[in-house]
Amino acid sequence: MVCCMCSRSVQILSRQLKVSQLRVFHIIAMDTVPPAASGVRSASSFLFDKAFVDGQWVGAKSGSVYQITNPSTGKVIGSVPDMNGDDTQQAIEKANLAFLKWRDTTAKERSLILRKWFDLTIQNKLELAKLLTAENGKPLKEAIGEIGYASGFIEWYAEEARRVYGDVIPSTAASKRMLVLKQPIGVAGMITPWNFPSAMITRKACAAIAAGCAVVLKPAEDTPFSALAMCQLAKEAGLPDGVLNVVTSSRDNAPAVGNLLCTSPVIKKISFTGSTVTGKILLQQSASTVKKVSLELGGNAPFIVFNSADIEAAVQGTMVSKFRCSGQTCVCANRILVQEGVYDQYVARLAEVMNQELKVGDGFDDSTTQGPLINSKAVDKVESIVEDAKRLGARLGCGGKRSDKGVNFFEPTLLSNVTLEMRCAQEEIFGPVAAVIKFKTEEEAVAIANSSSSGLAGYFYSQNLSQIWRVAEKLEVGLCGVNDGLISAIEAPFGGVKESGLGREGSKYGIDDYLEIKYVCLGGI
Ligand code: NAP
Atom 30 in ligand 1: residue holding the nearest Cα:
274
The β-bridge partners of 416 are 395
pLDDT at 6: 34
**Ligand 1 midpoint to CA 271 (Å):** 12
Average predicted confidence (pLDDT) for the chain: 93
Q: Point out the ligand 1 atom lying closest to the alpha carbon of residue 219.
A: 9
Residue-wise pLDDT for 291-338, tens only, equals 999 999 999 999 999 999 999 999 999 999 999 999 999 999 999 999
**Ligand 1 midpoint to CA 208 (Å):** 20
| Alpha-carbon span 257 to 251, nearest angstrom | 10
Active site residue 236: no
pLDDT at 21: 34
CA atoms 163, 169, 170, 173: torsion sign: negative
pLDDT at 32: 52
Which segments in the chain show pLDDT lower than 70?
A: 1-40
| Alpha-carbon span 76 to 67, nearest angstrom | 7
**Ligand 1 midpoint to CA 467 (Å):** 36
Residue tagged active-site, from 3, 231, 325, 330: 330
Q: Point out the ligand 1 atom lying closest to the alpha carbon of residue 331.
A: 34
pLDDT at 11: 36
Atom 41 in ligand 1: residue holding the nearest Cα:
296
**Ligand 1 midpoint to CA 29 (Å):** 27
CA neighbor of 371 nearest in space, from 146, 221, 152, 192: 146
Active site residue 340: no
**Ligand 1 midpoint to CA 246 (Å):** 16
| Alpha-carbon span 206 to 303, nearest angstrom | 32
Residue 448 carries which DSSP code? H
State CA 316 to chain mean position distance. Answer: 23
pLDDT at 18: 36
Atom 25 in ligand 1: residue holding the nearest Cα:
4
CA dist list (Å): 502 to 82, 273, 287, 459, 493: 29, 10, 14, 20, 12
| Alpha-carbon span 490 to 150, nearest angstrom | 9
CA atoms 381, 502, 155, 248: torsion sign: negative
Residue tagged active-site, from 296, 428, 476, 505: 296
Asked whether the beta carbons of 421 and 394 are under 8 A apart, the reply is: no
| Residues with C-beta less than 6 Å from any ligand 1 atom | 3-4, 6, 191-196, 218, 220-221, 251, 254-255, 258, 273-275, 278, 281, 296-299, 330, 428, 456, 496, 501
pLDDT at 42: 87
Q: CB neighbours (10 Å) of residue 477? A: 26
pTM: 0.93
Q: Point out the ligand 1 atom lying closest to the alpha carbon of residue 278.
A: 3
